[in-house]
Amino acid sequence: MAISARSIADIDDSITIPQFRVLVILSMRGPSNLSTLAGLLDVQPSTIGRMVERLVTAGLLERRPHPSSRRELVVELSARGRKTVRTVTMRRRMEIARVVEAMPARQRQGLVDALTAFTAAGGEPAADIDF
């Protein structure tokens, strides 16, 4: 958790971990309505509404009416939001690599194998990092 928090704070210390989760979900799934985001994050619609409002204000998300329902909004990453996700993810991976490199070689390979399986199961793109 500390690695994630530092990676986010290094880029933009106004983004919270839950807000970054919204950005990551949208980067992986594409545009989404607020009720879908609330369900994915297991939060109340009012909570996701406030988070989205802050991210729109920060220029990280864009919001538009749903094409088939005037009552719904669709949100998606802005160019700045996409860049933020890429940069934070790269920094997080570099920090993890630094920690792993400090481990004894025997333990390192087991951890790398487990983390590779973990990220693959979570649908995160593989990193090109050699240890």
What CATH number does residue 74 fall under? 1.10.10.10
Residue 16 has pLDDT above 70, yes or no: yes
Q: Is residue 38 part of a domain?
A: yes
Mean pLDDT, range 10-23, rounded to an integer: 82
Q: Is residue 83 part of a domain?
A: yes
Mean pLDDT, range 34-53, rounded to an integer: 94
What is the tally of structural domains in the chain?
1
Q: Is residue 70 part of a domain?
A: yes
Mean pLDDT, range 23-30, rounded to an integer: 94
Q: Is residue 129 part of a domain?
A: no
pLDDT, tens digit (0-9, with 9 covering 90-100), for 105-121: 889 888 888 888 988 88
Mean pLDDT, range 18-38, rounded to an integer: 94
Q: Is residue 127 part of a domain?
A: no
Where in the sequence is the domain holding 9, given as residue range(s)? 2-122
Residue 15 has pLDDT above 70, yes or no: yes
Element of type H or E holding 75:
strand 73-77
Q: Is residue 94 part of a domain?
A: yes
Residue 41 has pLDDT above 60, yes or no: yes
Q: Is residue 131 part of a domain?
A: no
